[in-house]
Amino acid sequence: MAEVLCEGSDVSAVTTSSICEASSIPATSCEIDIRRLKFVESTGSNGSETEPTPKRRKTKSSQMIRRERGPCVLVGSDQNSVNPKEKLVRLESALQCPRHGTMSVCGRRRDMEDAVSIRPDFIQNRHFFGVFDGHGCSHVATTCQERMHEFVAEEWEKIESKDALMTDRWTEAMKKSFRRMDGEAVNWSGQGRIPGCRCQQGRPMRSEHVGSTAVVAVVGPMRIVVANCGDSRAVLSRNGVPVPLSSDHKPDRPDELERIQSAGGRVIYWDGPRVLGVLAMSRAIGDSHLKPFVTAEPEVTVTEREEGDECLILASDGLWDVVTNEMACEIVRTCLRSNEPVRGGEGEVARASDKACADAAMLLTKLALARRSADNVTVVVVDLRTNV
């Protein structure tokens, strides 16, 4: 059963999701007709159905990337030309959850193992977006969907009073959150109901062979924090130029290869580079049988927001395997431009942009399928424009 999940949400409201079920598409099917998808409304605090599917053989590794940029620009660069009322409107806009849309499709895979988590205001004036791409089974990705934002909020609160640079505080909070998430995945006992978990449906999977990527973005009025573990990716579009905010954890990335080998592991080429010939990414949540070669430590970037920021795209490798950063950003920018919100009612503005983000996410997903992506495809689009 192929599944599609798409989501759009109000600025102020809890995310609404729509689960779209496609007619059953055999894994071997060559043709995927998006028109066959049937959309079924559902509600939830965030959306994503995850189910088990064989997507193993990936590796990851850890490293921290720090990106310090110039001073934050929240409103116009020439602020004197902006009247006070407009300044206030823009400030309020910057504090609200950015408009966003998401879509997730099973594609040619037998099972859906991607998961999405969107949590507006999970910390005051900060908003959480996460994409989790599971392998082996869906339950680690689903657990990330349900718990990661809680860990991040808790770890952030714990260190917020400390006198440290914002980058250091976020880096510490993210590292601790991912470590806790990994601990939960590794110690998972199979108890509790997790939608789509094969382990609980008479098809037992050894839980130590189950894992998930995690790319998480915390969007605040001043900056965007991205923590990544695995080969999902976050890309910012700024002044028409794609700016990667994460670096894929592939086993053949030179520093990752060195880390794996120095820990005593090997990267074996079998349908691409894989840690011990098994996992095609070098870092992941879970996968305890591949530790310490596969680690759950994230790389973290902290990026100051600027006036030229247009959108943020988070997606699983089902998109990035077949669509470049440049093309993805161009498609989203085109969707945002073609759905310029009408000045006037706040609700009208929000709806127009939410629709633009949802349209962009759907278009990217369709493009990935048309380009014969072999994986689940999940896309989250966030509108970062502050001057609309």
| Minimum CB distance to Zn ion, residue 78 (Å) | 55
Cα angle at 216 between 349 and 8, to 5 degrees? 30
| Minimum CB distance to Zn ion, residue 64 (Å) | 30
* Binds Zn ion (CB under 5 A): choice among 127, 139, 180, 305: 139
| Minimum CB distance to Zn ion, residue 197 (Å) | 3
| Minimum CB distance to Zn ion, residue 129 (Å) | 24
Q: Looking at 133-141, 151-159, 215-223, 235-243, which segment touches Zn ion (CB under 5 A)? A: 133-141
| Minimum CB distance to Zn ion, residue 3 (Å) | 16
β-partners of residue 82 are none
Residue 137 touches Zn ion, criterion: CB under 5 A: yes
Q: Residues 169-198: x/- map of binding to Zn ion (CB under 5 A)?
A: ----------------------------x-
| Minimum CB distance to Zn ion, residue 182 (Å) | 16
Residue closer to Zn ion, measured from CB, 185 or 267: 185
| Minimum CB distance to Zn ion, residue 75 (Å) | 47
Residue closer to Zn ion, measured from CB, 53 or 303: 53
User: What is each CA distance from 380 to 113, 198, 241, 271, 272, in whole angstroms?
Assistant: 16, 26, 18, 28, 27
What's the CA gap between 254 and 216, in Å, rounded?
A: 24
Q: Looking at 107-115, 132-140, 237-245, 261-269, which segment touches Zn ion (CB under 5 A)? A: 132-140
Residue closer to Zn ion, measured from CB, 137 or 224: 137
Residue among 135, 261, 109, 108 nearest 198 (CA): 135
Residue 382 touches Zn ion, criterion: CB under 5 A: no
Residue closer to Zn ion, measured from CB, 210 or 362: 210
Q: Looking at 90-98, 129-137, 240-248, 357-365, which segment touches Zn ion (CB under 5 A)? A: 129-137
Residue 199 touches Zn ion, criterion: CB under 5 A: yes
Q: Looking at 35-43, 138-146, 150-158, 303-311, which segment touches Zn ion (CB under 5 A)? A: 138-146
Binding residues for Zn ion, how many (CB under 5 A)? 4
- Tokens linked to 39: 């959309």
Q: Report the site for Zn ion in 77-106 (rule: CB under 5 A).
A: none
| Minimum CB distance to Zn ion, residue 54 (Å) | 12
Residue closer to Zn ion, measured from CB, 199 or 281: 199
Residue closer to Zn ion, measured from CB, 58 or 351: 58
50 phi/psi in degrees, rounded to 5 = -120, 140
Residue whose tokens read 């990267």: 267
Residue closer to Zn ion, measured from CB, 111 or 383: 111
Question: Would you tell me which residues interact with Zn ion (CB under 5 A)?
Answer: 137, 139, 197, 199
